[in-house]
Amino acid sequence: MTVLRVVLGDQLTRSVAALRDVDRSADTVLIAEVTAEATYVRHHPKKIAFLFAAMRHFADALRTEGLAVDYVTLDDPANAGSLRDEVVRAVARHGASRVVCTFPGEWRVLDDMRGWEAAAGVPVEIREDDRFLCSRAEFAAWAGDRRQLRMEFFYREMRRRHRLLMDGDAPAGGQWNYDAENRRPPPRDLVPPTPLRVTPDATTAAVLDLVRGRFGNHFGDLEPFWFPVTRADAEAAFERFVETALPLFGDYQDAMKRGEPTLWHAVCGLHLNAGLLDPLALCRRVEGEWRAGRVPLNAAEGFIRQILGWREYVRGIYWLKMPAYATTNHLAADRPLPDFWWTGETDMACLAEAIGQTKREAYAHHIQRLMVTGNFALIAGLRPAEVEAWYLAVYADAYEWVELPNVHGMVLFADGGVLGSKPYAASGKYIDRMSDYCDGCRYDVSAALGPDACPMNALYWDFMARNEGRLRGNPRLRNPYATMDRMGPERIAALRAQAGRFLDTLTPRG
């Protein structure tokens, strides 16, 4: 009898567990575009278009291989609107004896998936997603009874396990981490390379028409649409990165520059997280470039750390700590998200640049997310759930397993230090050092008080004072608090009053 093989929109890999033993003569593969998945947060139109286009191309590839694919488009009049209901319809339509699916990337989908068996009336097998380099069980075993779950030590274990950038039992170059060599500010006269931009084919064009009609009122610009949406094009885009950007990626990994949304970044997160690229293959490719002498070690290590270390680590944290993890609010942040996060209309040039870019591209690199929008959200005390919903909605690579730990833990310190050893709070000086955003800004980044002072400066000290009871004991914040002590109470009071006046000007979305 027919086995219904369900493939989700972020599982577009031929070797995904649900398809591993597929019977071409009997089984049916179900892939469905559903309104519920496009709207549980109001996803960026470019993100929705990327996923639907990638899903349709993947379905075509499976058909070419000879598999029976039941593809339900969003505009199918019979579309029931949710994954569960589409599975139920497909089981009845094909007379399926059982359902096979792959462990999902979000807790809410897993919770829903566990109800499919009762709803469809047939057995449902949920297979482990082994596309990741560390399984949930392996991460839980590593975590064990450790008092602190620091990424650096997990990363070292992953390097040893997968034999990446190793010289025998020692790390290549004699040290594990070259992060200190990843912090050069952007050069004014060096032009970054352009990532591969793919012209939409007929399949993608049809998706763009559909998304324009259904989701045109969501935050974000649909066009120009240039994302690769097939495995072949995603691999070609990564090769472009390796050949043109990887050599300088290490130096300028943390840099930001006006009008340059991608700089020397790979822009491969959306392809990795949807299943169009293989993480270990990318790491091996980058390691090969270093061993061939074509890229410096700080570039290769910096890239591999992001994939082998950080990406696997945050997924491990997510599945180890959910669902309670999402409910914590260690710093008691309760300010609503300002309206300008949805418009980009603010006199703060750094935020206008990062949010404006996000609106246009559904993309911003990790320092823009952490140290511009993220830093503002942290020091202004924005509500974690609202900030997290925004990040999940606006970025094409965002799924809750990767977005939530990054934002809840790394950006907002809402988990109280489970993921990061300190809150990554900064004044405007950091942004001025790592970007050209402050040039020509209406605010003066060198000033902390007065009508023209950069708001980040007063907000930073207000944050430190507001959270003194929670943070003063953190050894990594010893220096900022020593500085605050030297300022004296009158100076701190003036800074806090300045911050309060600015925060009073923020209006939530109507």
Show pLDDT as tens, one digit a residue, over the chain (510 residues).
799 999 999 999 999 999 999 999 999 999 999 999 999 999 999 999 999 999 999 999 999 999 999 999 999 999 999 999 999 999 999 999 999 999 999 999 999 999 999 999 999 999 999 999 999 999 999 999 998 999 999 999 999 999 999 999 999 999 999 988 888 888 888 899 999 999 999 999 999 999 999 999 999 999 999 999 999 999 999 999 999 999 999 999 999 999 999 999 999 999 999 999 999 999 999 999 999 999 999 999 999 999 999 999 999 999 999 999 999 999 999 999 999 999 999 999 999 999 999 999 999 999 999 999 999 999 999 999 999 999 999 999 999 999 999 999 999 999 999 999 999 999 999 999 999 999 989 999 999 999 999 999 999 999 999 999 999 999 999 999 999 999 999 999 999 999 999 999 999 987
Which token pair is 197? 């931009």
Count CB-CB contacts under 10 A for residue 168. 6
Which token pair is 226? 């240039």
Domain boundaries, the chain: 3-127, 136-193+245-321, 340-504
Q: Where are the alpha helices (DSSP H) in 66-177?
A: 83-94, 107-113, 116-120, 136-143, 151-162
Closest among 449, 453, 459, 427 to 441, alpha carbons compared: 453
- How far is residue 12 CA from its own chain's centroid? 18
Could you tell me how many helices (H) and strands (E) the chain has, helices first? 25, 7
pLDDT of residue 181: 82
What CA–CA distance (Å, rounded) separates 376 from 352? 12
- Fold category of 136-193+245-321 in CATH: 1.25.40
Q: What number of CA atoms fall less than 13 Å from residue 116's CA on the CB side?
A: 28
Is the separation of the CB atoms in 298 and 251 below 8 Å? Answer: yes
Closest among 288, 228, 296, 226 to 261, alpha carbons compared: 226
Is the separation of the CB atoms in 227 and 52 below 8 Å? Answer: no
pLDDT of residue 230: 98
Residue 43 DSSP one-character state: -
* Cα–Cα–Cα angle for 496, 498, 386, rounded to 5 degrees: 75
Is the separation of the CB atoms in 186 and 263 below 8 Å? Answer: yes
- CATH number attached to the domain at 340-504: 1.10.579.10
Q: Which residue has the tokens 């989701």?
A: 215
Which token pair is 374? 């993220």
Count CB-CB contacts under 10 A for residue 212. 13
Is the separation of the CB atoms in 180 and 247 below 8 Å? Answer: no
- CATH number attached to the domain at 3-127: 3.40.50.620
Which token pair is 113? 């998936």
Please name the amino acid found at residue 337: L
φ and ψ at residue 217, rounded to 5 degrees: -95, 5
Closest among 409, 401, 381 to 311, alpha carbons compared: 401
Closest among 459, 444, 467, 461 to 499, alpha carbons compared: 459
Closest among 51, 41, 93, 88 to 73, alpha carbons compared: 51
Output the pTM of the full model.
Answer: 0.96
